[in-house]
Chains A and B, each alone.
Chain A
Amino acid sequence: MYATAVVQSGRSAWKGPFFVAFPNIRLALENNVPIKTKARSCTILPNFVGLRFLVHNGKDYLPVNVTQDMVGHKLGEFSLTRKRFTFRATKNK
Chain B
Amino acid sequence: MVHILGTLLPEKQLVKFALTHFYGVGHLTAARLCARTQIHDRCKIRELTPSQITSLTGFLSSPSTASTLPHFPLATPDYVPPRLSEPIPAAPRRPTTVDASNPEKELPGDKLRGLRIGAELRRDIRDNIAHLRNIGSYVGLRHALGFPVRGQRSRPNAHTARKLNRVVRYA
Instruction: Please give the residue numbers on chain A whose beta carbons come within 8 Å of chain B beta carbons, in ascending order.
Output: 67, 69-70, 73, 77-78, 80
Chain A nearest CB, measured from B113 CB (Å): 14
Cross-chain pairs A/B with CB under 8 angstroms, 17 sampled:
A67-B135, A69-B131, A69-B134, A69-B135, A70-B135, A70-B137, A73-B135, A73-B137, A77-B137, A77-B138, A77-B139, A78-B135, A78-B136, A78-B137, A78-B138, A80-B138, A80-B141
From 123 to 171 in chain B, residues with beta carbon under 8 angstroms from any chain A beta carbon are 131, 134-139, 141
1/0 per residue, CB under 8 A from A, across B105-137: the answer is: 000000000000000000000000001001111
Task: List 3 tightest A-B contacts by C-beta distance, closest first.
Answer: A77-B137, A69-B135, A70-B135
Chain B interface secondary structure, helix, strand, loop or mixed? helix
Considering the chains assembled together, what is the distance between the CA atoms of A26 and B41 in angstroms? 62
Chain B nearest CB, measured from A51 CB (Å): 15
Chain B residues near A67 (CB, 8 Å)?
Answer: 135
Considering the chains assembled together, what is the distance between the CA atoms of A31 and B139 in angstroms? 31
1/0 per residue, CB under 8 A from A, across B30-51: the answer is: 0000000000000000000000
Chain A residues near B136 (CB, 8 Å)?
Answer: 78
Q: For A81, give the chain B residue with the smallest CB separation.
A: B138
Q: For A73, give the chain B residue with the smallest CB separation.
A: B137
Q: For B138, give the chain A residue with the smallest CB separation.
A: A77
Chain B residues near A78 (CB, 8 Å)?
Answer: 135-138
Chain A residues near B134 (CB, 8 Å)?
Answer: 69
Interface centre among B131, B135, B139 (most CB of A within 10 A): B135
Chain B residues near A77 (CB, 8 Å)?
Answer: 137-139
Considering the chains assembled together, what is the distance between the CA atoms of A67 and B136 in angstroms? 11
Q: A70-B137, A78-B135, A78-B136 are in contact. List 8 more A-B contacts (CB 8 A).
A: A69-B134, A69-B135, A73-B135, A77-B137, A77-B139, A78-B137, A78-B138, A80-B138
Q: For A84, give the chain B residue with the smallest CB separation.
A: B145
